[in-house]
Chain A
Amino acid sequence: MRTIETHISIPKWIEELELGKKWYKFSRSPLSLLGLVIACSTIILALLAPFLAPYPQHAGFYHNFMESCQGLSLKHPFGTDQFGRDVLSRTIFGFRYSLMMAGVVLLLVVPLGVILGLIAGYYREKIKIIEIVIMRIADIFIAVPPLVLALAICSVLTPSVFHAMMAVSLMWWPWYTRLTYNVTSSLKEEYFVQAAEVTGASSSHIIFKEILPNCLGSILTKVTLDVGWIILIGSALSFVGLGAQPPTPDLGTMVAEGGNFLPDFWWISLFPALAISYTILGFNLLGDGVRDTFVEER
């Protein structure tokens, strides 16, 4: 009886200790905390948009020309756009599309990139051809400026959110392959990997159970930092009309639409633009904090 208890309680206790340590390290920097607050706030806004937005129906097809292009007021704190839609409501919904973009892209890119990187890194000296094929393909994608590649792909296909996501994913995976490849190649020299090899453990055990857990810190850091970048690129695609199409309340699309009414009705594009900056700032600060916390532990 007693032994069972200790088996359950000890690892938990250790995990708590580890987390406590990590939290201490993280919370030492006020900027990281600010990043965490901002990132959480955007996620909450995105999740609860229908409840938080004062006029949820303004997110989609809606027009009320009576109220178009009204300035800031108590009723519409961020003003209204050319169709009389509440900019505040649309901006809150905009977080949804931006974060969804980042979420879907990362969900596709991270597993693929990481696995390729692990394989290339682990077989770097053993089976050279694997490394050469994977890394050179990755290099080709890395060599083209990301936005240009995405623009090219999106302009060939019909503009839509889905195609924008695919395009961004296609150019994003090599960065994860590169990162994991580098971490793996150095971890491969660690004695614990050699010990597992010497004792006869299978390659898949070594790659996924010995090496991968030690890469997670770096990967998590990159994921956090990338959220901001992907949102930026997604917004840029929408801005030039290759991403989300009106009337979708995508932040990039909104900035583009509002651009036509500058400088008189500046609020239409300013607030979505600020929202983009706010999100990117938050995730970048958070990413820095995550890096300080998880990477270079040893």
Chain B
Amino acid sequence: MKEMVNLLWVENLKKHFKTSYGIVKAVDGIDFTIKSGEIFGLVGESGSGKSTAGHVIVGIYTPTVGRILFKDQDISVPAIKRPKRLKREIQMVFQDPASSLNPKKTIKDIVGLPLKVHGLVNSKEELEEKAAKALEMVELPPEELMYRHPADLGGGEKQAVSIARAISTNPSFVILDEPTSALDVSIQAKIIKALMKIQKDLNLSYLFITHDLSLMRNVASMVAIMYLGKIYEQAPTGMFFYNPLHPYTKMLLSSIPVLTDEENKMKPKKVAPKGEIPSAVNIPPGCRFHTRCPFTMDICKVKEPNFVMVEPGHHVACHLYNQK
């Protein structure tokens, strides 16, 4: 077996935004590591801060507090100050295929931009060749699409172009921010298939941000659940789905509408979905989930639970497990 090397460390990462109605604590102290060749699934509802976390890592925002190390280099600085080499290595695929491609440019220019910026091509022909290669990797026919505009493409094709752009510079780490949530399931399947193949071929690491737990079950090797800016449970995928511990994880799992009876059996019973995620301006004291939790105890309302290891590799932050 290949040895897994740590590629990305995130340490006590916080990102707060000042707004007119108060400080939004979008990300409020998260820690995790991503090993090279790993697919790390970061799951949460909208408003949990999962996208912000991705945006901070890729450099769109500068962290308020905390450190991000990529290949032992500190990248918790504004994107402008990051070495260019690292920008080539960390790429991102955005959520909305319609907005992630410039409508006025051709597919060739869109895919070729990172190549040009990083000086990886010397001539027009080389650019064309490399862009075509990137498009082929995502199973798009270059000869048909190279000179088209995004408006001529379907949602799935747009997202595939977006992925081609991200992998055109041969990066080692790609952040996927809900890459398929705007797509139909049949197209999602195709995109995921392509992503998995690329990951194997190029030995990439992914930070896969999504709200779809069923998708994570099939894709990720490690899953972390985020709620109101904090990670509440993290485990290797198998363990995570067969032995979910945190009440929030259980609530999420039990909310998923499923297609088969076997899946139905996997859903934790007794945890009926309740309430909505509070605003990140007024974070509840103590455990942030206590307002919706069916097992709330007195301690939950005052003290934040520690993130503890319950079984090898399986971490959870919940007072139910802290007491043991």
Contact = CB atoms under 8 A, between A and B. Distances in A.
Contacts of B148: 10, 14
A197 B118 CA distance: 12
Interface residues of B, number: 35
B60 A197 contact: yes
Given A6-B143, A14-B147, A201-B113, A195 B165 contact: yes
Interface string B96-113: 101111111110001001
Contacts of A190: 99-100
Contacts of B113: 196, 199, 201
A297 B98 CA distance: 12
B298 to A, nearest CB: 43
A21 to B, nearest CB: 9
A11 B110 CA distance: 15
A97 to B, nearest CB: 36
A194 interface: yes
Contacts of B88: 199-200
B79 interface: yes
Interface in B75-115: 79, 84, 87-88, 90-92, 94-96, 98-106, 110, 113-114
A192 B101 contact: yes
A201 B116 CA distance: 9
Contact of A213 (B91, B92, B102): B102
Contacts of A74: none
B169 interface: yes
A128 interface: no
A210 B96 CA distance: 17
Nearest to B128: A7
A200 B58 contact: no
B311 interface: no
Contacts of B96: 191
B244 interface: no
A198 interface: yes
A298 interface: yes
Contact of B106 (A11, A195, A214, A298): A11
Contacts of B49: none
Interface in A171-204: 190-192, 194-202
B84 A200 contact: yes
| Interface footprint category on A | 20 to 34
A238 to B, nearest CB: 40
B5 interface: no
A10 B84 CA distance: 35
Interface in B162-216: 162, 165, 169
A214 B84 CA distance: 27
Contacts of A11: 106, 147
A214 B60 contact: no
B59 interface: yes
B117 interface: yes
B217 interface: no
B149 interface: yes
B103 A298 contact: yes
A125 to B, nearest CB: 11
B102 to A, nearest CB: 4
Nearest to B78: A126
A209 B143 CA distance: 24
B152 interface: yes
B102 A197 contact: no
A194 B101 CA distance: 10
A209 B114 CA distance: 14
Contact of A197 (B79, B101, B147): B79
Interface in A4-59: 6-7, 10-11, 14, 18
A199 B102 CA distance: 14
Contact of B94 (A18, A191, A213): A191
A10 B148 CA distance: 8
B172 to A, nearest CB: 15
B102 A198 contact: no
B147 A214 contact: no
B165 A214 contact: no
Interface-centre pick from B91, B92, B95, B113 (highest chain A CB count, 10 A)? B113
A213 B104 contact: yes
A288 to B, nearest CB: 23
B91 A198 contact: yes
Q: Considering residues A18, A194, A198, A202, which has the most beta carbons from chain B within 10 angstroms of its beta carbon?
A: A198
A199 B147 contact: no
A201 B117 contact: yes
A298 B98 contact: yes
Given A191-B95, A192-B101, A298-B103, A200 B147 contact: no
Interface in B13-61: 58-60
Most chain B beta carbons < 10 A, residue from A6, A18, A192, A297: A192
A14 B147 CA distance: 9
Contacts of B84: 200
A197 B84 CA distance: 11
A198 B87 contact: yes
Q: Report, nearest first, the 8 A-B pairs whose CB atoms are least far apart.
A: A213-B104, A191-B100, A191-B94, A200-B87, A199-B114, A10-B147, A192-B102, A191-B99
10 contacts: A7-B147, A18-B149, A191-B94, A195-B165, A198-B92, A199-B117, A213-B102, A213-B104, A214-B102, A214-B104
Interface of B: 58-60, 79, 84, 87-88, 90-92, 94-96, 98-106, 110, 113-114, 117-118, 143, 147-149, 152, 162, 165, 169
Given A191-B99, A200-B87, A209-B105, 16 more contacts: A18-B149, A191-B100, A192-B99, A192-B100, A192-B110, A195-B162, A196-B113, A197-B60, A198-B92, A199-B169, A200-B88, A201-B113, A205-B117, A210-B105, A297-B103, A298-B98
